[in-house]
Amino acid sequence: MLACLLLGACGGTRPEPPPAPVAAPDPVLAPPRIGLALGGGAAKGFAHIGVIKMLEANGFKPDVVAGTSAGSVVGAMYASGMDPFRLQEHAVALDEASIRDVRLFSGGLVQGLKLQEYVNDQVRGRPIERLRKPFAAVATRLETGERTVFVRGNTGQAVRASSSVPGVFEPVTIGGYQYVDGGVVSPVPVDAARQLGAEFVIAVDISSKATGRRPDGMLGIVNQSIAIMGQRLGEQELARADVVVRPRVLDIGGADFTQRNRAILEGEKAALAALPQIRQALDALQAQRLQDVRERQARAAAQRAADAAAQCEDGGSRWNPFRRDDEACTAAR
């Protein structure tokens, strides 16, 4: 009988090893939040419209928008829900007199109230926090030189503060402080876009550069002065953007509204040229985000395994030595 049993055991099928662990599938990640940082540049700001047109036409829709000076005007209207074609329609139909109110008794400075009313009319009177996209307007507090980021309150007033070029516009008083153009401290508001939650920032730089040529007229002198002050600071902030788009509009005068169509076209061309870089940078960011998730999952799995092993060792040595041979503890070991 014993021999029969031994022969039967030898002839039986071998127990199959446990299946190998299957790797968890990669998580599906949401696309990165894209931020648009629109720089200042007076009439050159029409180029922002062309950039937005080309980005949206190729499937890149910014989630948040930050603007300085002229960039805050376009940014507020875009954040309110206007599509790029409506932006262009409004730009073409814009009468310069509708946003410029010169006050002789203040030394010929532009008051800026018309600009404030124009912007509020375009956004239908909504405050910043009720716009369709998160929006920030960057200005400079005159008393301290601090960068101020407006993310709530009167949209037109924030844009007016952001656009108040020193020596051309009167400073704007808000909450007991005076504010001037944001380009003094943040020519292209990359950091403000990050503050709004952007993980990937596309910066549009239309700021004037000190080229060695003598500027023409009062506005040209003021713009060049601001450019000199903010050029080095702007370079540092632009370095924190993922992609920088530079429309070729530096030869357009700050007050030359007749060049608006050309500025829009230059914005389109610059954005089109930057599309391969944008795609490559976004792919690299998404790959890095996926790698980070994998590493976190691996660390969590290793910690769970270590905790299980420690629990098995503790339970086996303290309560029942034979329990260490159960399947869970064997796997943990």
**Residues annotated as part of the active site:** 69, 181
Query: What residues contact residue 10 under an 8 Å CB cut-off, 6+ apart?
Result: none
Instruction: Output the CA torsion sign for 259, 261, 264, 266.
Output: negative
Residues in the chain: 333
Q: d(Cα 273, Cα 258) in Å, to the nearest integer?
A: 25
Nearest C-alpha neighbor of 199 from the set 299, 269, 76, 292:
292
Nearest C-alpha neighbor of 128 from the set 99, 158, 148:
158
Nearest C-alpha neighbor of 170 from the set 116, 231, 229:
116
Q: d(Cα 167, Cα 42) in Å, to the nearest integer?
A: 14
Nearest C-alpha neighbor of 110 from the set 169, 164, 159:
169
Eight-class DSSP state of 210:
-
Two structure tokens written together for 219? 């506005």
- Per DSSP bridges, beta strands 34-38 and 147-150 are unpaired
**Residue 44: Cβ-neighbour burial (10 angstroms; 0-12, 13-18, 19+):** buried
Q: d(Cα 17, Cα 32) in Å, to the nearest integer?
A: 43
Two structure tokens written together for 268? 């389109």
